[in-house]
């Protein structure tokens, strides 16, 4: 076993070592010598161990004394008169929204994405959508904190549709509101296909202004987001209006 030391000759420090039983240290060499690397690693570990042990003690002490400063914990510490019941209601609603989103995304993942090659535009969440207009709607829903899923599969009687946005209403945290963006209605084939889709929705009980809404583009490709904000203030979050944007 090598015992290391720092030797000096003519004012220059260098690595040296000796085996047990030897009387003198011998010069090892520079940084590239394998024994020198072992010596440096051993010295590093020797200094590290007490720091790690001290940190472990601090962590154990922290874990023993740590308390989560959430709403329920603080409420448990307060007399009943001063408890924040409104905050608990919000927390409960947030949990409902989280569970709905989680279950909806899991359901969506059981389907194959239709025409994935057409997903060409990124949103602020780095999600791919099919057009710049869809990205604008997606981004405003995100910026308002609305709970929704993009292209959540919807099974109709004879087919499965993939409406652009399925939104969880904050009125009861159960009702789902659909927004279908119809972007190229000036194109005959697109218009004909989507009129048929609208009729399919109607036959299944999805009625404009009740549980499904359609948004459109201008002929120059622009999109007015005011209808989206109106839909939100009417059916999703009644306190929201166009000034929220």
- Three-point CA angle 167, 173, 174, nearest 5°: 80
Between CA 126 and CA 181 the distance in angstroms is: 20
Element of type H or E holding 18: strand 12-19
What is the Cα 203 distance to its own chain's centre? 36
- List the structure tokens of 173: 């945290």
Report which DSSP code applies to 21. T
Highest mean pLDDT among 47-51, 66-70, 97-101, 149-153 belongs to 149-153
Top pLDDT among 148 and 241 is at 148
**Tens-digit pLDDT profile for residues 77-106:** 888 777 776 665 666 778 889 999 999 999
Number of neighbours of residue 225 by Cβ within 10 angstroms: 15
Q: Name, in order, each residue with C-beta under 8 angstroms of 178's C-beta and a sequence gap of 6 or more.
A: 154, 163, 164, 165, 166, 167, 206, 211, 212, 213
Q: Is the pTM of this model over 0.85?
A: no
Report which DSSP code applies to 42. H
pLDDT at 216 over 50: yes
Between CA 54 and CA 116 the distance in angstroms is: 53
pLDDT of residue 227: 87
Binned at pLDDT 50, 70 and 90, residue 13 comes out as low
Range scoring the smallest mean pLDDT among 35-49, 102-116, 174-188: 35-49
Between CA 154 and CA 178 the distance in angstroms is: 10
Residue ranges and CATH numbers for the domains of the chain are 2-65 (no CATH), 111-244 (3.40.1350)
């Amino acid at each position: 076993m090598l015992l290391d030391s720092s030797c000096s000759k003519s004012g220059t420090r260098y690595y040296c070592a000796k085996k047990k039983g030897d009387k003198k240290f011998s010069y090892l060499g520079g940084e590239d010598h394998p024994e020198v690397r072992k010596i440096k690693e051993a010295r590093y570990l020797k200094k590290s161990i007490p720091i790690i042990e001290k940190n472990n003690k601090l962590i154990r002490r922290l874990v023993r004394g740590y308390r989560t400063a959430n709403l329920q914990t603080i409420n448990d510490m307060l007399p009943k008169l001063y408890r924040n019941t409104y905050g608990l209601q919000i927390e409960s609603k947030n949990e409902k929204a989280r569970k709905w989103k989680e279950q909806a995304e899991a359901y969506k993942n059981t389907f194959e994405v239709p025409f994935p090659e057409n997903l060409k535009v990124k949103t602020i969440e780095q999600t791919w959508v099919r057009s710049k207009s869809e990205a604008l709607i997606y981004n405003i829903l995100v910026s308002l904190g609305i709970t929704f899923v993009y292209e959540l599969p919807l099974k109709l009687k004879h087919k499965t549709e993939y409406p652009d946005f399925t939104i969880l209403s904050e009125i009861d945290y159960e009702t789902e509101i659909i927004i279908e963006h119809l972007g190229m209605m000036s194109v005959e084939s697109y218009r004909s296909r989507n009129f048929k889709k609208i009729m399919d929705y109607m036959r299944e009980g999805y009625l404009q202004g009740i549980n499904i809404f359609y948004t459109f583009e201008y002929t120059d490709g622009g999109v007015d987001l005011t209808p989206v904000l109106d839909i939100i203030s009417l059916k999703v979050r009644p306190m929201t209006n166009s000034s929220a944007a």
